[in-house]
Amino acid sequence: MTLLKTHIGRRAFIKNTSLASGGLVLGFSFLNSCKPEQAEKMAVREMPKEWFEINGYLKIGDNGLVTIMSPNPEIGQNVKTSMPMIVADELEIDWKDVIVEQAPLNTNLYSWQVAGGSRSISSSWQSLRMAGATARQMLKQAAATAWQVPVEEIRAVEGVLTHEASGKSAGYGEMASAAAKEAVPEEINLKDRSDFSIIGTSRKNVDGLKIVTGQPLFGIDVQREGMLIATVAHPPAFGMQLKSLDAEAAKKMPGIRDVFSITLFDDDFKRSAFHHTAFNTLVAVVGESTWEVMQAKKALNIEWEKAPSASIGMTMFGNDMEVNYPAGLENTTTHREQMEALNAKKGRVVRKDGNPEAAFKNAAKVIERSYTCPFLAHNTMEPMNFFAHVTEDHAELLGPTQTPEWMEPAIAELLGLPLEKIDINMTRQGGGFGRRLYGHFMIEAAAISQKAKAPVKLVYSREDDMSQGTYRPSYYATYRAALDADNNLTALHVKTGGIPESPLFANRFPAGALDNYLAEDWTIESNITTGAFRAPRSNFIAGAEQSFLDEVAEAAGKDPIEMRLELLKKAQENPVGENNDYDAERYAGVLELVKDKSNWNASPTGMHRGVSAYFCHNSYVAQVLDIAMENNEPVVQKVTTAIDCGIVINPDAARNLAEGGVVDGIGHAMYSAITFKDGAPEQTNFDKYRLIRHSEAPKEIETHFVDNGIDPTGLGEPPFPPIMGALANALYKATGRRHYHQPFITDRPPIVG
Amino acid sequence: MANYTLNINGKSREVDVDPSTPMLWVLRDHVKLVGTKYGCGIAQCGACTIHLDDNAVRSCQLPVSAVGDKKITTIEGLSEHGDHPVQQAWLEVDVPQCGYCQAGQIMSASALLKNNSNPTDSEIDTAMDGNICRCGTYTRIKKAIKTAAGNLS
């Protein structure tokens, strides 16, 4: 059992909000109280009129039903189910008696209301457990007081409190009123892992029925009395800005209420990268229906002009920086030349171990390979949108955002309202992948509502969405390996960079496993905006590195898994350097597991296999991908994934997320790209931007988790990056072609095998 | 603007809209049935799939003026209580991640099964290739379609 203090320092993690708000406990009727089994018989499972808020995470109805607030944004990673499961387990309530609600943004009650960095579960693991355990303890205390027995003798099981000696028992609903008045215990006991009854068991998506019956769940589904629809027009290319607007024709079109330009930030507004957008001034079209505003947008007569270069002061997690956006209309062909030229020069040395120069000089064999990837658009299926209702002294915002907490200050700044006058609520979100970390659309919706003096739902078209920027950066990497006469890997050199950021993680494997190691990087400025895209940077460098290691293993005449295990053994037993950021034992653990589960040493007939393993977001993933040739075309048959992300909350949902990572990784490595001509993206809809489809997905995906009882680490991102390496390695086995340039579908490498 | 009387989910609905308005927006903005989703507007993603009579069509490319007296079924009208075999199979397999594309997937799948109660893998691929799932739930969708087919037969 883990003993946890509910007060640490000056801050109380758990507050008894019912005491603060008082009125909640009034009007409680004992006649209404019943145990959960009675509640189950009710026709409609809903909270009664009287309920008791025990703390910010949960409310208990006098009928025994419990509402658990899910604090974090739900973008498809299923936290709306898994986070309440953690509370429910510690509370000791039957999952069928739980109703889940999306919590509003509330920085007093919750911390890290962000869907980013695969951190939802790991950063709230303890506070969610504490919320449930605290409530359980307060319910026990209430029963102990009512029955005049020691609290230690009270048992709480599935929503029922019992005192064996006296034979007394009561449902949580009966004790909720009294429990809400109890003092928050100073210390509470968390359950032992072996006593978990909900954590580690598969529970269905709490929104499942609503999703399959088409109920309004998403931001784009928001409907309000008097609500208008807005859309925006931004420049057709990066490096351009608004020159003039003639909206006369558009304003006369049916259903159109207004057309105007909006500007989001003053030059001196200290913004974060999550606020920034390439297009600070936009044209807004406001009308009665979506189709009408989309039609009117086509009738706008807008002149765009070339924008000057800009240098913008930004703050990023407390660090101030100046970001340069050069002038000009950029092209993909030029980008490639720029990257090749810069990569041929000496880069910024980020890490150096031993004497790599000497090792390369003395090498019996040197392997050098370069890898690239294009910009990508996130392309969440639900395009950017947000509802805003701004009045003189209040702003209500509702919709899909991964970062309500980070956006609130920028909205306050724009509207000139204090933070407490801004309410942000989250809907279910039609995908995130990092795109909705960047909430410019919330600010735009607020600006439009303020100017139109009406509740407004801003809706981006797919074309608006895909051409807005916030892309996955384009990267370039060159790897070099030195082998001695006995085929030992004696040195590794990585030089990498990108537009506008470098994908280097200098302290990750194989750093630490090599006596001689050199990591350099570089960056190129651009006016094309980029943003975090599922497993930022890892989403390229993992595939490049893992493809390269496959070639090194081949050149050394070693099995690719065995070679990695050898290196990891060295990193574990005799690590080089002190900043290695991975646990070599856990890394090796997923490789061993995938080797076993994929039956690596007995490859099925006709299958061509590739392996890959990577560490990111504090989790470890290894994958084996099997390809069969069908009609002379490579077809992915099966992927076997091994994951170490610590304790798994909801296994089947976790498998779903891992399957998605596999499909997503294969899809983007194989098919997707954003390219530029004169600053304009050449793909603005799914006719030219290719996403993986049903027939291209693996026929089978198997996912296995390492069972080690470690506190949960990330899961949303880690299964995504390594699969790109496994794909490239399997493609090589199947076709004899080593693919270096994503998307592989347009890459035509020679046959080398 | 023109008046149209439409048969949507077995009910008669009147709308006054421009004849060019796609059914997608008639449903979402005028009839307030928002289960049918906007994804691309050019019939490339399948999020807006509905049934016109018994066939799966992309409602973003179906102008209201072309509907006439054909029966429109949306995700909200596929069953009374979410108990259509395809919806049930979706719940059983716990298919959705973000869930946004799933209404379109379910409408394509239910139209497929109506015409072919026991489709092969390749027939499923052909029928479903027009429906993108950005979260990558394709293997679960296929499993759910087979589950539904099994329950139907």
What are the chain B neighbours of A213 within 8 Å (beta carbons)?
A: 35, 75-76, 78-79, 81-82, 87
Does A464 fall in a domain? Answer: no
Of B11, B16, B53, whose CA–CA distance to B33 is shortest?
B11
DSSP per position, A551-577:
HHHHHHT--HHHHHHHHHHHHHHS-SS
Torsion of CA A667, A669, A672, A677, to 10 degrees: 180
Tens of pLDDT along A672-730?
999 999 999 999 999 999 999 999 999 999 999 999 999 999 999 999 999 999 999 99
What are the chain B neighbours of A204 within 8 Å (beta carbons)?
A: 91, 94
Is CATH 3.40.47.10 correct for B2-77? Answer: no
Tens of pLDDT along A202-238?
999 999 999 999 999 999 999 999 999 999 999 999 9
Instruction: Give dist(CA A320, CA A459) in Å, integer.
Output: 32
Cβ(A282)–Cβ(A233) below 8 Å: yes
Instruction: Give dist(CA A147, CA A142) in Å, integer.
Output: 9
| Best to test chain A binding among B97, B101, B143 (most A CBs inside 10 Å) | B97
N-to-C CA span, chain B: 46
Residue A596 CB neighbours (<10 A): 13
Same domain, A564 and A582: yes
Chain A nearest C-alpha distance from B69 (Å):
22
- What's the whole-number mean pLDDT along residues A75-104? 95
Chain A contacts in chain B segment 67-126 (CB below 8 A): 74-76, 78-79, 81-82, 87, 90-91, 94-103, 106, 121-122, 124-126
Q: Please judge whether B124 and A694 are an interchain contact, meaning their C-beta atoms are less than 8 angstroms apart.
A: yes
Look at residue A18 and tell me whether its pLDDT is greater than 50: no
What are the chain A neighbours of B148 within 8 Å (beta carbons)?
A: none
Look at residue A650 and tell me whether its pLDDT is greater than 80: yes
The radius of gyration of chain A's CA atoms, rounded to the nearest angstrom, is: 28
Helix A651-671 / helix A720-735 crossing angle, nearest 10 deg: 50
Same domain, A122 and A257: no
> For residue A154, what are the β-bridge partners?
A163
Burial of A28 (0-12, 13-18, 19+ CB in 10 A): middle
Look at residue A124 and tell me whether its pLDDT is greater than 80: yes
Tens of pLDDT along A400-429?
999 999 999 999 999 999 999 999 999 999
Same domain, A700 and A640: yes
Does A334 fall in a domain? Answer: no
| Best to test chain B binding among A291, A663, A664 (most B CBs inside 10 Å) | A291
Tens of pLDDT along A352-388?
999 999 999 999 999 999 999 999 999 999 999 999 9
Look at residue A87 and tell me whether its pLDDT is greater than 80: yes
Chain B nearest C-alpha distance from A52 (Å):
31
Does A61 fall in a domain? Answer: yes
Q: Please judge whether B139 and A659 are an interchain contact, meaning their C-beta atoms are less than 8 angstroms apart.
A: yes
Helix (H) or strand (E) holding B107: helix B102-115
Of B46, B66, B41, whose CA–CA distance to B56 is shortest?
B46
Instruction: Give dist(CA A72, CA A406) in Å, integer.
Output: 13
pLDDT tens digits, chain B, 153 residues: what are they? 999 999 999 999 999 999 999 999 999 999 999 999 999 999 999 999 999 999 999 999 999 999 999 999 999 999 999 999 999 999 999 999 999 999 999 999 999 999 999 999 999 999 999 999 999 999 999 999 999 999 877
DSSP per position, A218-275:
BGGG---TT-EEEEEE--SSTTEEEEEEE-HHHHTSTTEEEEEEEE---TT--B-TTT
Spans of all domains in chain B = 2-77, 85-152
Chain A nearest C-alpha distance from B58 (Å):
14
Of A149, A144, A139, whose CA–CA distance to A55 is shortest?
A139
Least CB–CB distance from B41: residue in A78, A462, A663: A462
Preceding amide of A575 cis, omega within 30:
no
Least CB–CB distance from B136: residue in A78, A211, A663: A663
What are the chain A neighbours of B139 within 8 Å (beta carbons)?
A: 659, 663, 697-701
* Least confident segment among A319-323, A394-398, A466-470: A319-323
Size of interface A-B (CB pairs under 8 A): 191
Closest CA in chain B for residue A384: B39
Same domain, A494 and A366: yes
Residue A36 belongs to domain spanning: 2-203
What are the chain B neighbours of A664 within 8 Å (beta carbons)?
A: 134-136
What are the chain A neighbours of B81 within 8 Å (beta carbons)?
A: 213
Q: Which amino acid is at A696?
A: E
Does A753 fall in a domain? Answer: no
Chain B nearest C-alpha distance from A641 (Å):
15
Does A730 fall in a domain? Answer: yes
Among A459, A479, A513, where does a domain finish? A459
- What's the whole-number mean pLDDT along residues A599-626? 96
Instruction: Say what percent of chain A tops pLDDT 90.
Output: 85
- What's the whole-number mean pLDDT along residues A552-569? 98
Cα angle A393, A396, A397; round to 5: 140
Burial of A53 (0-12, 13-18, 19+ CB in 10 A): buried
Does A523 fall in a domain? Answer: yes
Chain A nearest C-alpha distance from B91 (Å):
6
Query: CB contact, 8 Å: B145 with chain A?
Result: no
Q: Strands A240-246, A154-157: parallel, antiparallel or unpaired by DSSP? A: unpaired
Q: Please judge whether A212 and B32 are an interchain contact, meaning their C-beta atoms are less than 8 angstroms apart.
A: no
Look at residue A302 and tell me whether its pLDDT is greater than 80: yes
Least CB–CB distance from A694: residue in B36, B38, B129: B129
Same domain, A151 and A180: yes
| Best to test chain B binding among A206, A210, A212 (most B CBs inside 10 Å) | A212
Q: How many residues does chain A have?
A: 753
Instruction: Give dist(CA B34, CA A290) in Å, integer.
Output: 13
Q: Please judge whether B99 and A661 are an interchain contact, meaning their C-beta atoms are less than 8 angstroms apart.
A: no
| Best to test chain A binding among B45, B95, B139 (most A CBs inside 10 Å) | B139
Same domain, A450 and A541: no
Look at residue A34 and tell me whether its pLDDT is greater than 60: no
Q: How many domains does chain A have?
A: 3
Does A316 fall in a domain? Answer: no
Look at residue A38 and tell me whether its pLDDT is greater than 70: no
Per-residue pLDDT, A517:
98
Same domain, A446 and A491: no
Q: Strands A489-499, A516-523: parallel, antiparallel or unpaired by DSSP? A: parallel
Chain A contacts in chain B segment 16-35 (CB below 8 A): 17-18, 20-22, 25, 28-30, 32-35
> What confidence category does residue A26 fall into, taking pLDDT thresholds of 50, 70 and 90?
very low
Same domain, A417 and A535: no
Same domain, A390 and A522: no
Q: Which CATH architecture has domain B85-152?
A: Orthogonal Bundle (1.10)
- Name residue, tokens 């949580």: A172
Least CB–CB distance from A221: residue in B25, B34, B124: B34
What are the chain B neighbours of A217 within 8 Å (beta carbons)?
A: 99
CATH number at residue A281: 3.30.365.10
Cβ(B44)–Cβ(A686) below 8 Å: yes
Same domain, A492 and A534: yes
Q: Which amino acid is at A572?
A: Q
| Best to test chain B binding among A656, A694, A715, A727 (most B CBs inside 10 Å) | A694
| Longest CA–CA separation in chain B, Å | 47
Same domain, A499 and A367: yes
Query: CB contact, 8 Å: B40 with chain A?
Result: yes
Least CB–CB distance from B102: residue in A211, A379, A663: A211
Instruction: Say what percent of chain A tops pLDDT 70.
Output: 94
Distances (CA, A) of A56 to A27, A397, A446: 21, 21, 28
Instruction: Give dist(CA A752, CA A728) in Å, integer.
Output: 14
- Name residue, tokens 């009664």: A48
Does A39 fall in a domain? Answer: yes
